Amino acid sequence: MCCAFARIVIVPYMPAQSTPVGQFAERHRREMIPLSKPFSYFSASLPLTEEDIREYLEEPIAALPPSILAVLPKVSILLVPYLERAIGRENGLKPSALVSLEKPSRDRTSWTSCFVNKEKQEAVLAFALKDQEVADYHYRFYHSLAELMADQWSDDARKQYSALIREELQANVHGEVDEVSWHLKQKVTSRPMYARKETKLFREYVRQSFIDTLTLFLHGICCDIDVETGPRQLPSRFLRRRLQLLQNLYALPSGYALFPEEVAQKQHTKS
């Protein structure tokens, strides 16, 4: 009598055709791999090399200011092939994307999704990696964290940033850091009274301006980036004032620099 040996083939996990981000994260909670606190991650059907892990996860997280790490909720990162825009709401919360194996149509394609579980004090950040450049991923990673920080920033930070924005409005400073905050600024400046009073629109503009500026601040700590000039771009001296304020509020981690002269100084010190 002879025995037949079964051959076991291990294949990478392939997600269902389309699954809401929150459900997908819950399904794979036990498979999350811990990173530096408060982060963990799970990669779906995307084999990551050590270089990938360093480039997509370790280096961007290492550049985060300690004071920001201290107030962020638990963050679970999902690295998936594609994300598709969802219609409706998930568990009564704001719309969440769907994790997809197949490439969605252009009008349904999404690059990132943030699903916040308030009961578990957890944020699930999902990123579609296929067809996405690393530099774009870094921007979207920091933008997602900046949105989380806009719900966590202290009263003191909010007051200082709001005061700086009021100074800019009173000086008729043109431009903004990104598209969404620029459009909100146009609404505020179209009615001067909005720039003087603590209106809902003014608070909405300040919040979005903070998100866009903090994204640039965090991205600049991690990577060498160039700020594109243009008619909608905030003038450099005012942008520098914002970044200096954020640097005072959120001190850089040891060994990192933000402005060119700081980088040059650190390089001179090392040599």
Of the residues 98, 133, 168, which one is the last residue of a structural domain?
Answer: 133
The pLDDT value recorded for residue 12 is 46
Residue 103 pLDDT level (bands cut at 50, 70, 90) = confident
Of the residues 133, 166, 194, which one is the last residue of a structural domain?
Answer: 133
179 with 233, same domain: the answer is: yes
The arithmetic mean of pLDDT across residues 171-194, rounded, is 89
Of the residues 73, 103, 133, which one is the last residue of a structural domain?
Answer: 133
203 with 258, same domain: the answer is: yes
Element counts in the chain: helices (H) and strands (E): 11, 9
83 with 124, same domain: the answer is: yes
26 with 127, same domain: the answer is: yes
The pLDDT value recorded for residue 17 is 64
Task: Examine residue 186 and state whether it is found in any structural domain, yes or no.
Answer: yes
Task: Examine residue 37 and state whether it is found in any structural domain, yes or no.
Answer: yes
163 with 126, same domain: the answer is: no
First CA to last CA distance, the chain: 74
The arithmetic mean of pLDDT across residues 116-134, rounded, is 87
Task: Examine residue 12 and state whether it is found in any structural domain, yes or no.
Answer: no
The arithmetic mean of pLDDT across residues 114-139, rounded, is 88
Q: For residue 121, give its domain range.
A: 18-133
Task: Examine residue 139 and state whether it is found in any structural domain, yes or no.
Answer: no
Handedness of CA 156, 161, 162, 166 (dihedral sign): positive
Task: Examine residue 13 and state whether it is found in any structural domain, yes or no.
Answer: no
Split into its structural domains, the chain has a count of: 2
85 with 163, same domain: the answer is: no
161 with 251, same domain: the answer is: yes
Task: Examine residue 222 and state whether it is found in any structural domain, yes or no.
Answer: yes
The pLDDT value recorded for residue 2 is 43
The pLDDT value recorded for residue 8 is 40
Q: What is the residue-wise DSSP string for 38-57?
A: TEEEEESS----HHHHIIII
- Contact status, residue 59 vs residue 152, Cβ threshold 8 Å: no
How many Cβ atoms sit within 10 Å of the Cβ of residue 214? Answer: 26
- Higher-pLDDT residue of 112, 231: 112
The arithmetic mean of pLDDT across residues 57-62, rounded, is 96
Task: Examine residue 4 and state whether it is found in any structural domain, yes or no.
Answer: no
- Contact status, residue 21 vs residue 82, Cβ threshold 8 Å: no
Nearest to 44 by CA among 90, 3, 78: 78
54 with 123, same domain: the answer is: yes
d(CA 90, CA 18): 14
- Higher-pLDDT residue of 113, 248: 248
169 with 241, same domain: the answer is: yes
Task: Examine residue 195 and state whether it is found in any structural domain, yes or no.
Answer: yes
- Higher-pLDDT residue of 189, 87: 189
170 with 118, same domain: the answer is: no
The arithmetic mean of pLDDT across residues 71-77, rounded, is 94
163 with 252, same domain: the answer is: yes
Cis omega before residue 192 (within 30°)? no
